[in-house]
Structure 1
Amino acid sequence: MTRRALILLEGTRSNGLLYVKAAQRLGLHPITLSADPTKQDYLAAEGLEAIRIDTDNLDALIDECSRLHATYAIAGITSSDELVYATVGKLCRHFHLPGPNPASIERCCDKFAQRQLLAQAGVPVPAYRMAANAPDVESAAADIGLPVVLKPAVGVGSMGVRLCRNVDELAEHTTYLLGGKHIWRSSPRMLVEEFAQGPFYIAHIMGNEAIGIGAANFGPPPHFVFRGGTFPALLTDEEYRSIVDVSLSCLPALALGWGPTCIELRWTKRGPVVIEVNPRLGGGPKPVQLAYGIDLITEHIKLVIGQEWDLHRRHSNVAGWRGLLPDRDGILDWIDGDRRAAAVQGVVEVKLCVDPKAPIVRKGDYRDYIGHVMAVSPSRARTEGILERAADLISWSITPFPTIGEQQ
């Protein structure tokens, strides 16, 4: 009998291995196609099949999948990486497999195009302007009013996203984005938008169904690095319905509705305002599984391979996570306490992302994490207590990099 394979394009640090494991549980053979398989360290660690290929070259991907088809029955093609998800859609269409609409994904991944489509559909979004140069940025900020958020029009993981509270911060970040330090995947285009203020929520959608709403909080400004979160969020029935209604209204506006969507919102003085629609699973679907018993990754793969998914809740707990974020740059001397933290009742995962003697250079985005703690219990207060206790058990020491004078 021909072995059934699931083709995975690239992979992410948060969800890549979870997709592989879910595929294996479904009896599939996962094969990762990646421009640099060494970047997904779990591939070598787990002895997984990976093929080095230019994942920006659609023709090369079609040829490789055709070659694989001679050995395997390709059950489906998908990815946990938003940057290649439109390509996934194109491959699925070529091979007549279930998949997302590539045109919808491409429009959604352009933050300016996304803003336009949402605004035209009457979905509440922050005030925004497009900018291609420093004068454009300055003019847009003057129109909107400080503070503003300045970000690349295309990007993921809060890379290049900054809160600019005054003209000096605005000029500094504009110079950073346009001065060669930020890596652009396309021509430099920036989005200047109103800083919508209020509690931050994440709506998890599968197809046209709202699975639930999570809450998250950030580290100190001007960056937007998640510090932690809980699922489900503490909301009144009216607040929950309002967030769900606004979230679902994004789908027809962006021609989405196949597979997973993760929608980020803030609850402002005018109610829920959409910050961003991501045409993929959220970076951390595990709290949903811990709280409700719904494995969103497995259910997504079921859709990819043409099976029926099951989105029914198995139980109702409160899950939470806490990110471990360094407070300085330098060399990590040591990090300890993860085993003690893992032994705390209610803790389900403690993960460290760095090893001693590694250089720590904060970038103000998702790459700053040196680890996380995850917990679950039947009670919100209990879960928060477990997280606080476990996180307090983990400590580390960072020696700052020597200054120029000290090096001499």
Structure 2
Amino acid sequence: MRLYLTALNPTDAVLDGFLPAASRLGLPVTVLTDQPENWPPHVPVQRCAVRDPAAVVAATTAGERPAALLSNSDHLQAVTALAAHCIGLPGKDPEAARRCKDKALTRQTVAAAGLDTVLSVIIGPGDDPGRTASRLPYPVVVKPRAGVASEDAYLVGDADELVARITEIRRRRPDPALVVEEYLAGELRTYDTLGDSTNIVPVGGWRTGLGPPPTFTEQTLEWAPPAADPAAEQVRAQLDALGVSFGASHTEYVVQDDGRVRLIEVNYRLIGDRMDLILAELLDIPIFEYVIRLHLGEPLTALAVPDPGSVPRHALVEYVCADRSGTLVAAPGAVDDHRDGVRLHCRPLSRPGSSIHRTGTNRDYLAVLHAIGPGPAAVRDTLNAFRADLRWEIS
């Protein structure tokens, strides 16, 4: 019996999370990818057209019998779910995965359930953006209908700026449809869950700090576990409407002054950018093993998932972002430290000699720093002192 993982490019979630977890569970792994040349030599990869469900089915049934099939890629959730369904393996509802990936469909589904209505229009590749721009209430956000990692997502203040942004995006991405929607002001939070199709439970939540507009780069995340309050109930209701009920999910939302929860997006996989590894450390649970075990067909009740609100630790994460394009000439390597009861870590995401092209997105991350300790004040102060000792230089 073998675990099959579908993936595009190598990620820390797969390399440092799922592969070691599968090994601890005694499961041999094959990574199905259309980019085998980009993966480290020690990873067992097999070339596959992973955006084609028929190709994924063929790859998983031609060799050793599959025990489970899963993906942690935003782009491959629906395809992988459909392939798992075709060969009778536990997995996500393919339509639910599609509703989460398609940002316009997410809005339509939640509105149809009577839970929230966000003004949202689709601009196709051949559409004239000027016709739509003049009819919108500003500010608005423009982003790819199936985008990820805040790429090509911009806050726009008026019609002329919207047309200019769409023209700019079209030069890089001539074909994908774009979504223009009302800007949702409020405190940005996350709601992270595990599910077994019968029930889902929260495993965490973070308060997110963004960089300056017009882009939406996440710069800090501070532990803020969801409570049994009206906001959490609203999030759960909207996830139920979308059909999110299996495996891992990561939801971003804002809470407005009147208490309304407005979804930003639902990523039907673990939280990313090493936050999944940090969450596992904070909760002290093997979260990657848990995801695999759910895809093996185990129920949630078999997993020792703690109530995130009862965890006696606090965490703060900071991303070091490139402030300009150039060449990274100086950067620390991996650093682990322990000061005054606080665990500190620095993990490089770019190394000296790397060419840096600043995008205003999560692709600008040079490193991720995190601190885990007994309380917010100690964690913040210790992380600030830790960061002051580290240096990054771009020339």
Q: Do the two structures share a fold, i.e. TM-score over 0.5?
A: yes
- For 2:387, the equivalent position in structure 1 comes to 391
Contact kept? 2:32, 2:47, Cα under 8 Å: yes
Contact kept? 2:316, 2:380, Cα under 8 Å: yes
Q: Choose 73-82 or 119-128, whichever is displaced more.
A: 119-128
Task: State whether structure 2 residue 145 is matched by structure 1 residue 153.
Answer: yes
Q: Please, what TM-score do these two structures have when normalized by structure 1?
A: 0.86
- For 2:262, the equivalent position in structure 1 comes to 273
Contact kept? 1:126, 1:274, Cα under 8 Å: no
Residue identity matched to 1:170: L
Compared CA separation, residues 188 and 321, structure 1 to 2 (3 A):
same
Give the secondary structure class of the aligned counterpart of 1:117: helix
Residue identity matched to 2:263: V
Q: CA deviation at 1:140?
A: 4.2
Q: CA deviation at 1:168?
A: 4.0
Write the distance in 1 (CA, Å) between the matches of 2:50 and 2:133.
Answer: 37
- For 1:286, the equivalent position in structure 2 comes to 277
Write the distance in 2 (CA, Å) between the matches of 1:368 and 1:122.
Answer: 38
Deviations for 1:338-365, whole angstroms, at most 9, x for unmatched residues? 46x5334333431112222221101222
Compared CA separation, residues 39 and 386, structure 1 to 2 (3 A):
farther
Residue identity matched to 1:357: G
- For 2:331, the equivalent position in structure 1 comes to 335
Task: State whether structure 2 residue 14 is matched by structure 1 residue 16.
Answer: yes
- For 2:312, the equivalent position in structure 1 comes to 316
Percent identity between the aligned chains?
24
Compared CA separation, residues 294 and 245, structure 1 to 2 (3 A):
farther
Deviations for 1:344-390, whole angstroms, at most 9, x for unmatched residues? 43334311122222211012222111111111001011111222222
Give the counterpart of 1:201 among 172, 189, 199. 189
How many residue pairs get aligned? The number is 379
Give the secondary structure class of the aligned counterpart of 1:15: helix
Residue identity matched to 2:104: F
Task: State whether structure 2 residue 210 is matched by structure 1 residue 222.
Answer: no
Q: CA deviation at 1:247?
A: 1.2
Write the distance in 2 (CA, Å) between the matches of 1:286 and 1:158.
Answer: 21
Q: CA deviation at 1:139?
A: 4.7
Contact kept? 2:33, 2:48, Cα under 8 Å: yes
Give the secondary structure class of the aligned counterpart of 2:155: strand
Residue identity matched to 2:292: I
- For 1:35, the equivalent position in structure 2 comes to 34
Unaligned runs of 5+ in 1: 400-408
Task: State whether structure 2 residue 231 is matched by structure 1 residue 243.
Answer: yes
Residue identity matched to 2:162: L
Question: Aligned runs of 1:349-368 on 2, under 5 Å?
Answer: 349-368=345-364
- For 1:406, the equivalent position in structure 2 comes to none
Q: Please, what TM-score do these two structures have when normalized by structure 2?
A: 0.89
Compared CA separation, residues 117 and 368, structure 1 to 2 (3 A):
same
Q: Choose 189-198 or 309-318, whichever is displaced more.
A: 309-318
Give the counterpart of 1:117 among 109, 128, 143. 109
Residue identity matched to 1:281: L
